[in-house]
């Protein structure tokens, strides 16, 4: 009986997952205007899981739009699969397009090409290797990646790996003396020198440099940024943009010394904004010292430069400031600073929580920009007027979900919208300037949303209660999202408690494949944005470091108990799952509340912060979350290790009775797999049922198509098994 139930649930999960996995996500969008100004084209790039091919398939779509007096979709192109495109960027005039293509030979060695297309054909194709001046061109990695046309459309600006000298063994036969001495001889004995890279998911990115490609000459110039302020500072460069008139480049430079820390999800690494003049090659620092900056953008008239900034080190995601640099004077002004929740809760603007501005983000007024930013458990479109320093929310309160601004140009805005029951779809809007100098948007849906039936969701607000409120920030509110199956059955659905990772991140009302899948399998899911999450004020974020393992655990448990008290769920059918710091919280929850959860699942869990310190790409995280101020010269002492251990779930493993399934990415550099092994061994030593899945070739997210699919079905099977047993 139990076996049949498990088999049926597993087979059902496979079918449900295969159906939902077809929902594509939009990765880029661009508004363009042909010669005929009445015709607008929206080009969008999508990604979709292909389980049969076990890869994410990328494809483009186009919408052809008339906007005589309102926006009307005249035609839609069929999706076109994009094979091997790393970049695809239209020139400012729309007459040219550059594609960076990456082609893998059957021997799997990768070749890259720079392709220049006009509106009829491919004009130029350059084999990057033939340039022999840099390594691989960087993709859109969210940190370094850049590909920008100059206004003149004669040059391209991109980021590539610095060329490495050739190396050879000490025992290699020396070449004849009359050989070509003009070439740099290979370095002997350097073949095995460690090349430090930028951590998790940046394993082939060690030293990015700025490159300017002359299209006519088909040659590239690598900009030497070591002469910053006349110091030999070795820098990694990225996020580069042209200065007005193409006379120079503004870019973000990260110091490579004393050692690199993991960069992904960590926009608080020490760096600065620089300006390099292409004629004199002088390089000057624009931004303040000892800050972390990102996403520089010039106003269309070139008079102002804005960028996002926050403190270095400290919490890994925090409230960002918007800084304006007057280009003529280089004077800096803070337009939007830190915001705090205080007594007002999350309804008040919580500050900017975003990794970047859209590539094009300005209204034609040269003073209002549009971006997406996390606001509680949703992502809204906000406008920021850099003249009046005012912030406004642009989407309606009723449309709770995730709004992503993709492109803004000629007072039109392209965005995608999604929510837990609706995969992302495109909306094109016209910006309407109101009398108070703010904007409203008149939207047109470019597609009919494909809403998934049987899923409803609501956002709950929680206040820390009872003994949980003793901690320092007890007045701060926090949210959760309850996603519930809308079945007619009067059987109370089992509840999955799901704390997010980070810890300084947030789960937002997005379309999430796993959450929709669990819901369609009959589970309700409680997604908890405990204090310390982004989108709820800087004070919320600052409340957590040093209090992990207590405050965050109390908030998740408090939300779960509050929801169960409402009577819609059976308190004997509650399970818990989480990844990374969410796995850390899962371990704490089953250790500190041993009889509350019937089963647990952890993805790449941080189990023992003390033992993680020496092997993670983010050792600073171990200090910061344990409440120890970090700098790169710190060395942990006994007391530091003690603090880290005392805040770790391993401390409570002896009290665990809940069956645990651990899922590991074999090449995870963020939370190394040995963390999961440490917990697995401790559970087995205590005769607790434990199952461990190790996904080869997967890193921290475990998001390769086959692994992600296998993990989902295994999760459903694990929960079914343990909810079926007495
Ligand atoms: C916000 C954030 O992700 N912080 C990084 C330091 C980080 O990678 N933290 C991990 C411990 C973690 O919890 N990562 C989250 C994003 C996950 O779910 O993988």
Q: What is the pLDDT of residues 496-530, one digit of tens each?
A: 999 999 999 999 999 999 999 999 999 999 999 99
* pLDDT at residue 179 in the model: 58
Closest residue by Cα to residue 94 from 65, 59, 119 = 119
Q: How far apart are CA 568 and CA 267, in angstroms?
A: 40
Q: How far apart are CA 700 and CA 671, in angstroms?
A: 7
Instruction: Using the predicted structure, report yes or no on whether residue 70 has a pLDDT greater than 80.
Output: no
Here the contacts of 398-403 (C-beta below 8 Å, separation 24 or greater) are 400/459, 400/509, 401/509, 401/510, 402/372, 402/378, 402/508, 402/509, 402/510, 402/511, 403/372, 403/379
* pLDDT at residue 306 in the model: 98
Among 512, 580, 621, 648, say which to mutate for ligand 1: greatest number of ligand atoms within 8 Å of CB.
Answer: 580
Average of pLDDT values for 370-399?
94
Instruction: Using the predicted structure, report yes or no on whether residue 105 has a pLDDT greater than 90.
Output: no
Domain boundaries, the chain: 455-608+648-724
CA-nearest residue, atom 9 of ligand 1: 502
Do 571 and 648 form a contact (C-beta atoms < 8 A)?
no
Residues annotated as catalytic (active site), given as ranges: 580, 668, 700
Dihedral sign, Cα of residue 529, residue 535, residue 539, residue 544: positive
505 touches ligand 1 (CB under 6 Å): yes
Beta strands in 91-207 (DSSP E): 97-104, 110-117, 122-127, 134-137, 147-149, 155-162, 167-168, 187-188
587 touches ligand 1 (CB under 6 Å): no
Among 265, 584, 587, say which to mutate for ligand 1: greatest number of ligand atoms within 8 Å of CB.
Answer: 265
Instruction: Using the predicted structure, report yes or no on whether residue 36 has a pLDDT greater than 90.
Output: no
Band (pLDDT 50/70/90 cuts) for residue 106 is confident
315 touches ligand 1 (CB under 6 Å): no
Do β-strands 147-149 and 155-162 pair in parallel, antiparallel, or remain unpaired? antiparallel
* pLDDT at residue 512 in the model: 98
Mean pLDDT of the chain: 94
How remote is the CA of residue 581 from the centroid of ligand 1, in Å? 6
Let me know the angle formed at the C-alpha of 101 by 100 and 107, rounded to the nearest 5 degrees.
145
* pLDDT at residue 108 in the model: 72
Average of pLDDT values for 711-722?
98
376 touches ligand 1 (CB under 6 Å): no
CATH 3.20.20.10 fits 455-608+648-724, yes or no: no
How remote is the CA of residue 100 from the centroid of ligand 1, in Å? 30
How remote is the CA of residue 704 from the centroid of ligand 1, in Å? 18
CA-nearest residue, atom 18 of ligand 1: 501
Instruction: Using the predicted structure, report yes or no on whether residue 61 has a pLDDT greater than 90.
Output: yes
* pLDDT at residue 2 in the model: 73
Q: DSSP states of 24-64 as a string?
A: -EEEEEEEEE-SSTTEEEEEEEEEEEETTTTEEEEEEEEEE
Q: What is the 3-state secondary structure (H, E, C) of 224-256?
A: CCCCECCCCCCEEEEEEEECHHHCEEEEEEEEC
How remote is the CA of residue 265 from the centroid of ligand 1, in Å? 7
Q: CA dist 239 to 147, 211, 242, 312, Å?
A: 9, 12, 10, 18
Q: How far apart are CA 434 and CA 420, in angstroms?
A: 32
Q: Which residue shows structure tokens 């169960």? A: 564
Give the position, in ligand 1's atom list, of the atom nearest the Cα of 582: 13
Give the position, in ligand 1's atom list, of the atom nearest the Cα of 583: 13
Q: What is the pLDDT of residues 460-469, one digit of tens each?
A: 999 987 565 5
Average of pLDDT values for 318-347?
94
582 touches ligand 1 (CB under 6 Å): yes
Backbone angles phi, psi at 284, to 5 degrees: -120, 150
671 touches ligand 1 (CB under 6 Å): yes
Average of pLDDT values for 151-161?
97
* pTM for the predicted model, two decimal places: 0.95
How remote is the CA of residue 700 from the centroid of ligand 1, in Å? 9
CA-nearest residue, atom 7 of ligand 1: 502
Among 142, 264, 269, 502, say which to mutate for ligand 1: greatest number of ligand atoms within 8 Å of CB.
Answer: 502
Band (pLDDT 50/70/90 cuts) for residue 182 is low
How remote is the CA of residue 580 from the centroid of ligand 1, in Å? 6
How remote is the CA of residue 468 from the centroid of ligand 1, in Å? 24
Closest residue by Cα to residue 40 from 439, 443, 428 = 428
């Amino acid at each position: 009986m139990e076996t049949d139930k498990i088999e049926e649930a597993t087979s059902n999960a496979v079918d449900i997952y295969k159906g939902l996995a077809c929902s594509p996500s939009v990765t880029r969008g661009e508004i363009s205007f042909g010669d005929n100004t009445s015709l607008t084209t929206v080009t969008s790039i999508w990604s979709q899981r292909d389980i049969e091919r076990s890869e994410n398939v990328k494809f483009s779509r186009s919408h052809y739009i008339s906007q005589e007096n309102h926006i009307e979709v005249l035609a839609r192109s069929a999706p076109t699969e994009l094979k091997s495109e790393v970049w695809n960027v239209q020139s400012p005039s729309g007459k040219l397009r550059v594609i960076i293509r990456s082609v893998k030979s059957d021997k799997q060695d990768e070749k890259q090409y720079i392709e220049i297309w006009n509106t009829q054909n491919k004009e130029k194709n350059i084999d990057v290797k033939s340039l022999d001046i840099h390594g691989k061109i960087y993709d859109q990695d969210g940190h370094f990646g850049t590909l920008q046309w100059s206004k003149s459309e004669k040059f391209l600006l991109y980021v590539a790996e610095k060329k490495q000298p050739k190396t050879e063994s000490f025992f290699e036969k020396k070449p004849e003396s009359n050989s070509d001495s003009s070439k740099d001889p290979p370095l002997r004995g350097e073949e095995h020198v460690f090349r430090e890279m930028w951590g998790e998911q940046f394993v082939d990115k060690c030293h990015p440099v700025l490159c300017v490609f002359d299209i006519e000459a088909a040659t590239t110039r690598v900009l030497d940024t070591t002469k910053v302020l006349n110091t030999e500072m070795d820098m990694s460069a990225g996020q580069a943009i042209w200065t007005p008139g193409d006379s120079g480049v503004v870019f973000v430079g990260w110091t490579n010394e004393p050692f690199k820390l993991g960069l992904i999800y960590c926009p608080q690494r020490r760096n600065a904004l620089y300006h390099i003049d292409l004629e004199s090659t002088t390089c000057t620092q624009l931004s303040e010292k000892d800050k972390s900056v990102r996403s520089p953008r010039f106003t269309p008239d070139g008079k102002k430069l804005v960028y996002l900034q926050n403190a270095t080190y400290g919490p890994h995601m925090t409230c960002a400031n918007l800084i304006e640099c007057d280009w003529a004077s280089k004077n800096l002004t803070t337009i939007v600073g830190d915001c705090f929740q205080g007594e007002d809760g999350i309804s008040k603007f919580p500050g900017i929580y975003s990794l970047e501005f859209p590539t094009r983000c300005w209204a034609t007024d040269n003073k209002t920009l549009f971006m997406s930013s996390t606001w509680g458990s949703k992502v809204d479109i906000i406008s920021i007027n850099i003249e009046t320093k005012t912030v406004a929310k642009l989407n309606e309160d009723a449309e709770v979900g995730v709004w992503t601004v993709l492109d803004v140009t000629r007072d039109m805005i392209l965005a995608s919208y999604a929510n837990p029951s609706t995969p992302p779809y495109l909306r094109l809007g016209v910006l309407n300037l109101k009398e108070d100098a703010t904007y409203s948007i008149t939207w047109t849906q470019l597609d009919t949303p494909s809403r998934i039936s049987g899923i409803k969701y609501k956002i709950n607000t929680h206040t820390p209660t009872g003994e949980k409120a003793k901690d320092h920030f007890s007045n701060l509110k926090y949210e959760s999202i309850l996603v519930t199956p809308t079945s007619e059955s009067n059987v109370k659905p089992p509840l999955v408690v799901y704390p997010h990772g980070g810890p300084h991140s947030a789960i937002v009302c997005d379309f999430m494949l796993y959450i929709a899948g669990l819901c369609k399998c009959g589970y309700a899911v409680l997604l908890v944005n405990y204090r310390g999450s982004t989108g709820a004020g800087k004070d919320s974020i600052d409340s957590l470091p040093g209090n992990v393992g207590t405050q965050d655990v109390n908030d998740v448990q408090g939300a779960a108990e509050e929801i169960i008290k409402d009577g819609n769920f059976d308190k004997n059918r509650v399970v818990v799952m989480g990844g990374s710091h969410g796995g850390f919280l899962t371990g704490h929850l089953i250790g500190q509340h041993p009889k509350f959860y019937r089963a647990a699942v952890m993805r790449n869990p941080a189990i023992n912060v003390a033992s993680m310190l020496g092997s993670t790409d983010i050792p600073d995280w171990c200090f910061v979350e344990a409440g120890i101020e970090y700098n790169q010269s710190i060395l942990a002492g006994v007391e530091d290790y003690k603090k880290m251990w005392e805040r770790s779930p391993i401390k409570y493993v002896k009290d665990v009775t809940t069956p645990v399934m651990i899922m590991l990415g074999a090449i995870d550099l963020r939370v190394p797999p040995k963390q999961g092994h440490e917990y697995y061994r401790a559970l087995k030593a205590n005769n607790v049922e434990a199952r461990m899945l190790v996904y080869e070739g997967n890193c921290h997210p475990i998001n390769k198509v086959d692994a992600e699919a296998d993990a989902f079905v295994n999760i459903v099977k694990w929960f079914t098994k343990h909810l079926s047993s007495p």
